[in-house]
Amino acid sequence: MSRPLVIEQPEGVRGIVAVPVRTAVVQPGDDFLAIVADAVRGIARRADVVAVSETALAIAQHQTMAAQSVRPSKLAYLVCRFAGPLATVNQPESLQLVIDRVGAPKVVGACVLQVLGRLVGQRGLFYRVMGPAITAIDGYTGTMPPFDRFIVLEPHDPSAFAQSLFERTSVDCAVIDANDLAPAKVLGASQNVNRDVVARALDENPAGNSDEQTPIVVLKWRGEGANPMLRSGVSP
C-alpha cells in the first residue's frame, strides 16, 4: 500500500488525507466491484470516501477500442496538429471518435472559437464547446500497458457502481475522472457523497497518472468538525 498523502489546497478543503491503494492491472471482464471491495478492506471506514478511477471501471466494462481500428479523417489529422502533446485531441484516432459523435461542423466551430478566444486572452473554449463529447473519451497517452494503444470510453452508469460498492462495504464511493492536466471530475457517486468537495480533494491527482497501479484512493477526513465529503457530515 502506498503512503498516505496529505492534501493541501490553498482554496480547497484542508484536513483530507488521501491513501492510494495498489491493485493488479484491471482487465476487461474483471469483477471491478469485488476488486475494489477486497482492496479497501481494512483501509476504508464508514466515514471515508473510496474514489475509483473511471478508466479502470471502463476497462473492466469492456469500454475500450483499439486505436488501430479507427480511421482518422483529414480534419482529425489537421486539428490534432495544434493540440498539446498530452491532450486527447492530440491523437487523431481519439479526435475522430469525437468528430463521429458531434459532427465535423461543431468541431470546426469549436476550433474557430478557440483561435478567436486566444486573441482576446480566453483559453479552453474548444473544450467548453465540445463538453461531454470530448471528456468522455480518454486517449492512449499515459495509459499503461497493455492498454497503451487503446482508447478508453466513458464507463456505464458510474453512479450505480458507486452505490453498489456502498451497499457492499458501507463505505461511500465516487467514480473519478482525474489526471495531471485538468481539474478532477466526479462522474458518479453514492447518494451521500458531496461531489464538489471530493472533486476538489482530488485535483492534485494523488492516484498518479503513470504506472502506479493505484486506481483506488481512499479519502479520509482528519480535520475539525463534520466531514465535508459526506452530506450527512459523518465523523470518523
Q: Which three cell numbers stand for residue 151?
A: 482508447
Residue with cell 457530515: 233
Say if CB 198 and CB 188 are below 8 A apart. no
How many domains is the chain partitioned into structurally? 2
User: What does the alpha-carbon distance between residue 205 and residue 180 come to, in Å, rounded to a whole number?
Assistant: 6
214 lies in a domain? Answer: yes
Return the pLDDT at 192.
Answer: 94
User: What does the alpha-carbon distance between residue 79 and residue 189 come to, in Å, rounded to a whole number?
Assistant: 34
User: What does the alpha-carbon distance between residue 62 and residue 221 come to, in Å, rounded to a whole number?
Assistant: 34
Torsion of CA 65, 146, 133, 130, to 10 degrees: -130
**Residues 58 and 71 both lie in one domain:** no
Is a pLDDT exceeding 80 seen at residue 226? yes
**Residues 108 and 75 both lie in one domain:** yes
Which has more pLDDT, 26 or 182?
A: 26
**What string of DSSP letters covers 186-218?**
EEEE-TTB-HHHHHHHTTT-TT-SSS----EEE
Average pLDDT, rounded, for the chain: 83
Using DSSP, state whether 154 is helix, strand or coil: coil
- Mean pLDDT check: name the lowest of 55-64, 88-97, 155-164: 88-97
- Mean pLDDT check: name the lowest of 20-34, 79-93, 117-131, 161-175: 79-93
User: What does the alpha-carbon distance between residue 87 and residue 160 come to, in Å, rounded to a whole number?
Assistant: 29
Return the pLDDT at 203.
Answer: 81
**Residues 207 and 96 both lie in one domain:** no
- Mean pLDDT check: name the lowest of 2-11, 71-80, 182-191: 2-11
What is the per-residue pLDDT across 73-96, written as a single tens digit (0 to 9) for each? 999 998 888 776 556 677 888 889
**Residues 197 and 142 both lie in one domain:** no
Which residues span the domain enclosing 179? 5-63+154-221
Element (H, E) at 66: strand 64-66
112 lies in a domain? Answer: yes
